[in-house]
Amino acid sequence: MTFPTPPLLSWSALILSTSPVIMANVSKMEFPILRLPILAIFNVFSMMNPFEIINFSTSSSKCRKIVKFYFRPGCKYELQLHIMNGTAISFLGARNIWEYEFTSEEKEDNILKHHESNGTKVEKLMKYSANIAESLFNLLKRLDDLMNFKNIEFFLFEMGRYPLQNDLIIQEIKNFKKPIEHFEIFSDEDAGNDIIDMLNHVNGIKSLDLTASFNKDFELSCPPNLSWLYIHDSKWINLTKLLELNSSEIQIRDHELTDMDLCAFFQSWISSESHSKLEKIEIHSVERETFENISQTLPHEEDDYSVVLKVNRLKTREVQLESFYIKRNDGTWATIYLVQNRRPDGLTLGMLVG
Ligand SMILES: *[C@@H]1O[C@H](CO)[C@@H](O)[C@H](O)[C@H]1NC(C)=O
Ligand SMILES: *[C@@H]1O[C@H](CO)[C@@H](O)[C@H](O)[C@H]1NC(C)=O
Ligand SMILES: *[C@@H]1O[C@H](CO)[C@@H](O)[C@H](O)[C@H]1NC(C)=O
Ligand SMILES: *[C@@H]1O[C@H](CO)[C@@H](O)[C@H](O)[C@H]1NC(C)=O
Ligand SMILES: *[C@@H]1O[C@H](CO)[C@@H](O)[C@H](O)[C@H]1NC(C)=O
Ligand SMILES: *[C@@H]1O[C@H](CO)[C@@H](O)[C@H](O)[C@H]1NC(C)=O
Ligand SMILES: *[C@@H]1O[C@H](CO)[C@@H](O)[C@H](O)[C@H]1NC(C)=O
Ligand SMILES: *[C@@H]1O[C@H](CO)[C@@H](O)[C@H](O)[C@H]1NC(C)=O
């Protein structure tokens, strides 16, 4: 694969139309950008999109050095990686997305596509590759060398997309070393060991979304400082493992916890034995009877109207059916509630702290 070279606006047109500072001393005929002071060049870069900057960097080794210097404090674009149907590296700006999307159709190579989605302009440059997983990481590494990414803001990994390449992908992710803030993993197969391997080597995960199947022995040690954890298939979670999930917000679905397990969980919270940082937990697809059982078992607190509880600001797409208040032994309030949501599995049991 050759280095991506998307179309670039004509340099002089770009500069003359957008930069009064540079206009002052740039001849309309010739455009000696490399003779500009570095800050003026950076000023030009700040008005270019990432495709244009990357293209500029390929003109010469000097151009490349200048671009690297420009990005030395860190890349200002948000970096996203998708390994799915539509495997891509994307840069997010305020209202734009620039994306390299890989294709196995050779005739699509270097085609630039535009579309608009929900007010965001998407500019997509297609890149042909016979080995998409490998090309993706080769491009990522070259772009990182040039643009100095702070992290991967969002990474979606469908492990069934290139199953024969998963070892390579996982190795590349581990080698990449930069934090991944929002990590979503999908797998139809039991991928427990691979997922643990990745979680042990990736830093800075703030949000983790696991839509994968696991066997009953699976044990998840949550990354530190996790603020969001979603587990789609939670059949492997028993009380011990539930008490060890460490995240400010937890969502579980398809679980096999008993009413007694759930009561024990809430009781452990009430006595400050676990989940001191928990702000919200939602357990999807419960029976109404489970809520009744929990409600009968746990001590209720009288509604205190002087406390404005966060539960009053729950999302409106959910219909709150029932709720009651509990209090932790340090005086912290929480609301336990049952909501009807639009999903087919209907009822969700939740606890919202504060
Ligand atoms: C990259 O930029 C150059 C000008 O520096 C331009 O001539 C060329 O067309 C651009 N590349 C592509 C693929 O458009
Ligand atoms: C261009 O003009 C700016 C201010 O107008 C000046 O600081 C800069 O040195 C000039 N650059 C060149 C290459 O003459
Ligand atoms: C991939 O997505 C395209 C539309 O973007 C769709 O036509 C195609 O069927 C999808 N392929 C698979 C294997 O899901
Ligand atoms: C569209 O954008 C608005 C505001 O940015 C956002 O709240 C909404 O969720 C978006 N809708 C979709 C379908 O992405
Ligand atoms: C939960 O499962 C683990 C094995 O995965 C086991 O060690 C632990 O004792 C179980 N806890 C309960 C409460 O059953
Ligand atoms: C949860 O994570 C925090 C750091 O983010 C740590 O201080 C705390 O000990 C962890 N709790 C458990 C039960 O692992
Ligand atoms: C967790 O967050 C705290 C405070 O935000 C920070 O001081 C600490 O370094 C973080 N730990 C890790 C492992 O990121
Ligand atoms: C609720 O508790 C009763 C009695 O403890 C039990 O028989 C019933 O199965 C429980 N309901 C559910 C949904 O587990």
Q: What is the model's pLDDT at position 38? A: 87
Query: Coil, helix or strand for 15?
Result: helix
With cut-offs at 50, 70 and 90, classify the pLDDT of residue 59: confident
Cα dihedral 86, 91, 92, 98 sign: negative
| Local structure of residue 24 (DSSP, 8 states) | T
CA of 36, closest atom in ligand 2:
13
Give the DSSP letter string of 312-327.
GG--TTSEEEEEEEEE
> Is the CB of residue 301 less than 8 Å from the CB of residue 323?
no
Three-state SS for 257-283 is CCHHHHHHHHHHHHCCCCCCCCCEEEE
Which tens digits make up the pLDDT trace of 121-144? 999 999 999 999 999 999 999 999
Which ligand is closest in space to the CA of residue 290? 8
Distance of CA 162 to the CA centre of its chain: 20
Which tens digits make up the pLDDT trace of 147-159? 999 999 999 999 9
Asked if residue 302 has its Cβ within 6 Å of ligand 5, the reply is: no
CA of 214 to the centre of ligand 5 (A): 15
Q: What is the model's pLDDT at position 311? A: 59
> Is the CB of residue 86 less than 8 Å from the CB of residue 104?
no
Pull the structure tokens for residue 353: 């702290």
Q: What is the model's pLDDT at position 312? A: 60
- Position 283 pLDDT exceeds 90: yes
> Is the CB of residue 192 less than 8 Å from the CB of residue 221?
no
Which tens digits make up the pLDDT trace of 73-82? 989 899 999 9
Q: What whole-number distance in Å separates Cα of residue 115 and Cα of residue 97?
A: 10
Q: What whole-number distance in Å separates Cα of residue 67 and Cα of residue 58?
A: 10
Instruction: Give me the half-sphere count of Cα atoms (radius 13 Å) on the Cβ side of residue 48.
Output: 26
CA of 47 to the centre of ligand 2 (A): 18
- Tell me the pTM: 0.83
Distance of CA 323 to the CA centre of its chain: 32
